[in-house]
Amino acid sequence: MTEIYSTPAVPGAHTPLYAGSLLSVRGLEKVYGSKESLTHALAGISFDVEQGEFVAIMGPSGSGKTTLLNCISTIDTASSGHIYVAGRDITTLSKRALTKFRRDDLGFIFQDSNLLDTLTGFENISLALTIKGTPATQIPPRVNAIASQLGVSDVLSKYPYQMSGGQKQRIAAARAMISDPQLVLADEPTGALDSRSATIMLEMLEMMNTQMGATIMMVTHDAFAASYTSRVIFIKDGTLFNELRRGDDSHDAFFNRIMEVVAFLGGEAGHVS
């Protein structure tokens, strides 16, 4: 068989040239509002995420989780501080470089999947490659390969309205992975799913991390979801509150440790569950 891939067929298969942390957030501040009413959504937060980590961000409602994710994904701009991805400061990129960064280096999974209703599962996944200018002949084998790895081959011909919530999220995960991003950002990816679909989705994220080499940062309110990651970063009032590493813990043991911190934060945690 002829090798037709110009880029690695297996996402994450390339070795990054950069040797430091994949993501470094340094003194990140985000201030909303005017003089009369200022909100410090992010109050100088700093942390690192290494290549190959699967990290959860937890914290009470209003603690700055979405703001943090939006700054890293460059949907929002920080008031001050720096965000380095593979050593490059993304807070100083030009508009054009930002578009390229979002397209080539990031994968997104949202709470409500954000699939395009008029496109099939296959077309939703392949769109990312089309936008990048990948030659048309290379697209079907790559989409089929990722769909088979992620177990969504049977829904490729369906439109989003014909899919279950869980299937939509799994197609969205395949879409996020297809361009072999450096970093996958997920905002409450299991938030709208029942517990069975959430578990399938979490096992899939875990597989993307351990077998496909994806570095994943996931915002979640759910300690069960967080127990699938290798580290949980807790934020409170826009700054780092605590962090837990899974180590050799089972899901159950890690879940219990996460719940202890959630319970501690619980007084003001609102809907942290």
Sites of contact with ligand ATP (CB under 6 A): 32-33, 39, 41, 59, 61-67
Nearest approach, Cβ of residue 61 and ligand ATP (Å): 3
- Sole residue written with tokens 């915002």: 219
Q: Which residue has the tokens 């309110």?
A: 221
**Closer residue to Mg ion in complex, CB, 41/261:** 41
Nearest residue (CB) to ligand ATP, 45 versus 163: 45
Query: What is the closest distance, in whole angstroms, from the C-beta atom of residue 192 to ligand ATP in the complex?
Result: 14
Residues 54 and 64 sit within 8 Å (Cβ to Cβ)? no
Task: Find out whether 24 and 32 touch, Cβ atoms under 8 Å.
Answer: no
Tokens of 151: 């177990």
Between CA 123 and CA 116 the distance in angstroms is 9
Q: What share of the chain is helix, strand, coil (3-state, %, to 5)?
A: 40, 20, 40
Nearer to ligand ATP, 42 or 128 (CB): 42
**Residue 162 touches which of ligand ATP, Mg ion, none (CB < 5 to 8 A by kind)?**
none
Q: What does 264 interact with, of ligand ATP, Mg ion, none (CB < 5 to 8 A by kind)?
A: none
Q: What is the smallest separation between the CB atom of 41 and ligand ATP, expressed in angstroms?
A: 3
With H, G, I as helix, E, B as strand and everything else as coil, classify residue 260: helix
**Spatial distance between the Cα atoms of 142 and 171, rounded to a whole number of angstroms:** 14
**H or E element in which residue 124 lies:** helix 121-132
The distance of closest approach from Cβ of residue 193 to ligand ATP in the complex, given in angstroms and rounded to an integer, is 17
Nearer to ligand ATP, 163 or 244 (CB): 244
Please name the residues in contact with 128: beta carbons below 8 A apart, sequence gap of 6 or more: 103, 175, 178, 179
Among ligand ATP, Mg ion, none, what does residue 246 contact (CB within 5–8 Å per kind)?
none
Q: Of Mg ion, ligand ATP, none, which one does residue 32 interact with (CB within 5 to 8 Å by kind)?
A: ligand ATP
Identity of the residue, 141 or 266, whose beta carbon is nearer to Mg ion in the bound complex? 266
The footprint of Mg ion (CB under 5 A) covers 65-66
> Whose CA is closest to 167, among 200, 144, 129?
200
Residues 214 and 50: beta-carbon distance below 8 Å? no
Cβ-proximal residue to Mg ion, closest one? 66
Which of Mg ion, ligand ATP, none lies near 39, with the C-beta cut-off 5 to 8 A by kind? ligand ATP
Shortest distance, position 233 Cβ to ligand ATP, whole Å? 12
Q: C-beta of 182: minimal distance to ligand ATP in Å?
A: 23
Query: Closest CB to ligand ATP among 156 and 235?
Result: 235
Q: Provide the minimum distance between the beta carbon of 231 and ligand ATP in the complex, in angstroms, as a whole number.
A: 18
CB 43 within 8 A of CB 81: no
Note whether 214 and 177 are within 8 A (CB).
Answer: yes
With respect to ligand ATP, which residue has the nearer C-beta, 69 or 115? 69
Could you give the strand order of the β-sheet that contains 106-109, starting from the edge strand earlier in sequence?
Answer: 106-109, 183-187, 215-219, 54-58, 231-236, 239-245
Q: Which does 59 bind (CB under 5 to 8 A by kind): ligand ATP, Mg ion, none?
A: ligand ATP
